[in-house]
Chains A and B, each alone.
Chain A
């Protein structure tokens, strides 16, 4: 079974600084996708970034980028120029891309606080 581990239950960052959230996963598959989702307090979960495992290039979305290390099964999220609105729970998630499997497997999340 696939597992996703987020080893940092809580993190904090000064506004305008950079922070990196860690995620490791365990799978025997070679084709899969990885995601970072953001869940602000009392608001719905939204996609931050998506990575296809067969692509070596790290995904980026504006201030958000990932460091995808397939051999190490590591998928960290870097947030640059942190803003107050970045404060939220961040979840790393995995999905196998083979036929018949469509369930996301989530980590336990990292609570990010942004200090003004």
Chain B
């Protein structure tokens, strides 16, 4: 059973560029989450998918951010016109629907640095 994987693990970009991250959840998991973690802070929720439907979005997810989960499998998170404040670790997690409170399994994250 492979865990959650994320690609790339590291990304350095210049301000104003677009970046896209990919997350592959645990194969049987139908729920997928994106979080952002800045230095010295705990992860903060960005968005959540059940199968291919995006059901919840945080106010942190500005118009420059878009997430998709086509066919309910892998997910992508795109940031357009990156800003220095976007520099953070972007974490993906997945879970198997079980009535709420089920454990979310995290990937290794993508560390983004915007110069």
Partners in one complex: yes
Measured CB to CB, the residues of A under 8 A from B are 4, 32-33, 35, 37, 43-47, 50, 52, 91, 93, 95-109
Nearest A residue to B99 via CB reads A97
Interface secondary structure of B, over-half rule: loop
Please state if A35 and B45 are interface contacts (CB–CB under 8 Å). no
Please state if A102 and B109 are interface contacts (CB–CB under 8 Å). no
From B55, B56, B101, contact of A32 by CB (8 A): B101
A residues in contact with B21, CB < 8 Å: none
Query: How far, in angstroms, from A114 to B95 measured CA to CA in the complex?
Result: 31
Interface bracket on B? 20 to 34
Please state if B42 and A44 are interface contacts (CB–CB under 8 Å). no
A residues in contact with B105, CB < 8 Å: 47
Query: How far, in angstroms, from A105 to B58 measured CA to CA in the complex?
Result: 12
Nearest A residue to B46 via CB reads A103
From B35, B101, B108, contact of A33 by CB (8 A): B101
Between-chain CB contacts (< 8 Å), 24 pairs: A4-B42, A33-B100, A37-B106, A44-B3, A44-B4, A44-B107, A50-B101, A50-B103, A91-B43, A96-B100, A97-B100, A97-B101, A98-B100, A100-B56, A101-B56, A102-B48, A102-B100, A103-B48, A103-B56, A104-B45, A106-B43, A106-B44, A107-B42, A108-B42
